[in-house]
Amino acid sequence: MKTVFVLALGLILAATPLSGHHSFAAEYEADKPVTVSGTVSTILWANPHIYFTVDVKGEAGKVTQWRFEGYPPNMLIRQGWKRDVTLKPGMAITVSGWRSRLDPSHGAGRQVTFADGSKLWVGPPAGTGGQ
């Protein structure tokens, strides 16, 4: 199974020369998707990736702060995002993405679902590029 995964990973890496990537597979686990819901607490709108945190309430009211990486600001702007408008502290959102290999509450963000049900891409698909 591990061999199959490594082979598949090799094929993905070899077959995506045009995706422009920053080593997704080194940092994140494409076979470990994660989805969390919570309240946006911070947003770092910076290059080469934005970062935002989401406070997620767990059992017995325990709050875990998840931190997600996303596209660079320019790529978000070109997809319709607006700084300080689209994503703001206090918003209730659901984020889907993939788990970090290093930190159990860190991830690569892929999609954000807002309270009204609308969805936006916040980061690249697994294994490909953002910057």
Residues that bind another protein (CB under 8 A): 6, 9-10, 13-27, 44, 46-49, 51, 69, 72, 74-75, 77-79, 100-102, 121, 124-125, 128-131
Q: How far is the CB of 65 from another protein (least distance, A)?
A: 16
Q: Which is nearer to another protein, 5 or 92 (CB)?
A: 5
Q: How far is the CB of 80 from another protein (least distance, A)?
A: 8
Q: Which is nearer to another protein, 59 or 84 (CB)?
A: 84
* CB of 25 closer than 8 Å to CB of 11: no
Q: How far is the CB of 28 from another protein (least distance, A)?
A: 10
Q: Which is nearer to another protein, 58 or 131 (CB)?
A: 131
* CB of 104 closer than 8 Å to CB of 47: no
Q: Which two tokens stand for residue 19?
A: 């995706």
Q: Which is nearer to another protein, 26 or 60 (CB)?
A: 26
